Amino acid sequence: MKFFLDTANLDEIRQAAALGLADGVTTNPTLISKEGKVDFKEHIAEICKIVSGPVSAETTTNDRDEMLKQGREYVKIAPNVVVKCPLTLEGLEATRILNDEGIKVNVTLCFSSAQAVCAAKAGASFISPFLGRLDDIGDNGLRLLEEIIEIYDNYEWKTEVLAASLRHPIHVIEAARMGADIATMPFKVFQQLLKHPLTDKGQETFLADWKKTSAAKA
């Protein structure tokens, strides 16, 4: 499973990239807004300098033709830019056209298997089911992910399943168990994946014991 970072923060992306854990990046208008007054295209270009894998840049309109215009502009930023379109009628129309032009699209805001099937048939390169947001309304994000993977496995669609809106390591690990192609996660979840209190405690003990040995003094 590939790990993508769900952030537009350059420091976080650099840190994850240094660990070799950033196979790609997903952004959205909310994440970009958290970075203050940045120039959108320049910011995406900066991210693409750090990460060689897919970097999602989201369209910011409900209008199909405007999505197409934005998407065609975004892919000029860097060769690894992927255009993000919403799972709406207009978004899927744009996905179909961009896909026919050889432009990769990440179809976002997916909350049902029926939507995921439509996205695959429209030629999406990635489908992004939002697990955490479904959990937030008392539904079950992991169950949706499982269903999408099961359905996609029946066909030869090229669409990669990108588990999104992940809130904690259990989302990531369960997504891996199900065989999701990609998990995109906030930097905080990356950090949580690495941590275990017994690792910290064990390392502390090893270092303390090492100081007591004659070998350490030699």
Catalytic: 37? no
Q: Which residues lie below 8 Å from residue 147, measured CB to CB, with a gap of 6+?
A: 113
Smallest separation (angstroms) from ligand G3P to the CB of 13: 14
Work out which of 28, 95, 115, 125 binds ligand G3P, going by CB under 6 A.
Answer: 28
C-alpha pair distances (Å), 161 with each of 41, 74, 124, 192: 26, 22, 10, 22
Task: Identify which range of 112-120, 130-138, 139-147, 172-180 contacts ligand G3P by CB under 6 A.
Answer: 130-138
Which of 164, 175 has the CB closer to ligand G3P? 164
Q: Which residues lie below 8 Å from residue 17, measured CB to CB, with a gap of 6+?
A: 50, 51
Work out which of 164, 182, 183, 189 binds ligand G3P, going by CB under 6 A.
Answer: 164
Q: Which residues of 114-152 are buried (b: 16+ CB within 10 A; e: fewer)?
A: ebbbbbbebbbbbbbbbbbebbeeeeebbebbbbbbebb
Which of 40, 130 has the CB closer to ligand G3P? 130
Which of 64, 84 has the CB closer to ligand G3P? 84
Active-site residue, from 34, 49, 69, 84: 84
Amino acid at 20: G
Smallest separation (angstroms) from ligand G3P to the CB of 113: 18
Catalytic amino acids? 84
